[in-house]
Structure 1
Amino acid sequence: MRRSARTVLLPAVLTVVAVASQFLPPIALARGSVPAWLPALESTAATVAVYRETGLAIATLAVLAGAFALGYREASHRDVGRTYLRYVGVVCAAGATVLLLMFGGAVVANGSAGSSPFLTALVVTATLVAIPGVLTVSALAGVTVASTRDSGSRALSTRGLLPFALAAGVVTGAGHALNAAGDLAMVAGDGVGVPTWLPQFGTIGTTVTTYLLASQLAGDLALVGGGLALGALAVRRTGIAAPARRFVAAVATGALGGLLVAWIPITWSLAAENTDPGLAAGAATLPNAVVSTAVVATLATVAGVGVARFEADGSDAGGGVGDDTDDPGFEAVTETPVSERSIRDH
């Protein structure tokens, strides 16, 4: 019972931390200044941008690491591979429930439910993918590493790894470009909404918000979906049994390269329209872009390896994860005898 409660509680706590990490840095710097004891650049706007983006990057990385550690720890003590679908369902459901409760509380506290049902649904959907969705993928990556760390895996050559590195670059570059599509649309609209040839959604503010949220949602879906597909493809095409270090390094390198290919022209375009702080503020977005795109794509790829490996193991055993649907406690099935009490009290 105690362990089952932790399985639900920890993802919920991580979701709260993730929400706080996304909103606290901008709120703390909302007045356009930083404490006098911190180093500062020549431009106040550039200084604020650097600290805001750096704070977001560190906080997001810490949350992703926490989710990865959560999955790794879970798989280290139980055979989560046999019930991974239920486990990720529990993690995702716990995070989504907490997020919806927080969203509902914010609506009640502010006394407004929003003027557009479509925009409200878009806000909820984009946030669900950006926080519980990404955290679930990170937790599944941790499960994958812990569950397959002792598996014999084919040692791919550099030539064999190159296609996966290039694919990771495409996924990450596309994800970043989609994330930036809303900002690019605003630039194309000369700072007053988006171009008139694009569909409009009532007021300028509603239209801008809609495009920003839609681009964020599209980018996150591309990163998570593309990474999962790439990991699964690696298992099925090459027969790898585990995300070996060389494989992960190749994917991470490709993801970083793909990000830079997309980030440089996009940042230059946005900075050209913003002279204060301009390029300095654009450069400050790189750490956060690395964490929110390259790191997420890499984790999603590792998670995809786990999905394909667990599915293959289930098929080889003559059954799938559905065979364990009556086991709500995710009890371990290990080669070493472990008492029920020791599992529950771990």
Structure 2
Amino acid sequence: MTQVFNFSAGPAVLPKEVLQQAAAEMLDWHGSGMSVMEMSHRGPEFISIYKQAESDLRELLAVPANYKILFMQGGGLGMNAVIPLNLLGRVREPATPGPAVIDFVHTGSWSGKSLKEAARYANVNVAASSQAEGFTHVPPEDAWKLTEGAAYLHVCTNETIDGVEYNFVPRVSDGVPLVADMSSHILSRQIDVSKYGVIFAGAQKNIGPAGLTLVIVREDLLEHALPICPSAFHWKNVAEHESMFNTPPTYGIYIAGLVFAHLKALGGVAAMEQRNIEKARLLYAALDQDDFYSNRVDVSCRSRMNIPFYLRDESLNEKFLAGAKARGLLQLKGHKSVGGMRASIYNAMPIEGVQALVDYLNEFAGR
């Protein structure tokens, strides 16, 4: 089989070791005579898989004891609706005057999708936006216009399409939960979970196959769902049933658990962060070498995971992509909404893949 490097933004590359283990266990998991795909989610075999995955994720992210980890469905887009349905009740109680307001910082396509969905359920305040500048940075925090008593503040800490990443934890007023979409950089860098009320992430970028969504939620935020919240998406129901209120995405949880164990064996999140810093530095150095390529994101906000770039002469785009494919460098075409190119270099992308891309960048530019 020809060596390829998959730079897709999601569903994305998985560690080869994880895929090999899953292949070996496909027909018979640990002598059970069953594939994980065939197991009852309430049977002892799968319960052991779930508990180990939950425990390993809690260890990797140092999740405090007063936070619940939920394994759910719906993806990032689905969670954009689930979040207001679970949190708006805390500001719609009789003692709280006025309509509910959700604060958003608009830094790219995904935070934009989030605020549009939330506007179906409450008033939305765009506390800050970099849209006028083409989503090239995170707006300076001292310029944010936050709402006193907001239901919560929602941020996307890594914009998959636009390549903007937060390098700080936003400040919130006392009592206002901070909600973070970390879909495309969770487990790639160390975070202080205690600074957030809710963290959520679609698994298909840095954790596992599409279909699984992780939610890490502080326990005091489980009691505020609106009456219209579907029971299968009510965080309290999901937490009380240990993610088994309805049939969970069992195979996705299994693969995620293998990824968690793999990350632990490599040294955990701290070790992965150092690898990711090295990979991003290598790729950005090649893009910045001259004006043949350009990355438009402010240096202080550049993503380590999703790196969009443009050729100076965009008439060469198809030739560039064809040459990349011939060298086994796949899925480099940028998102249709922004054009250009994009290299997603998640945890599972080895530095050899980044070096192969850098070599091709230099070759194509004729350096």
Q: Which has the higher strand share?
A: 2
Question: Could you say which structure has the greater relative contact order, defined with CA pairs below 8 angstroms and 6 or more residues apart?
Answer: 1
Q: What TM-score, normalized by structure 2, do the two folds share? A: 0.25
Q: Which has the higher helix share?
A: 1
Q: What TM-score, normalized by structure 1, do the two folds share? A: 0.26
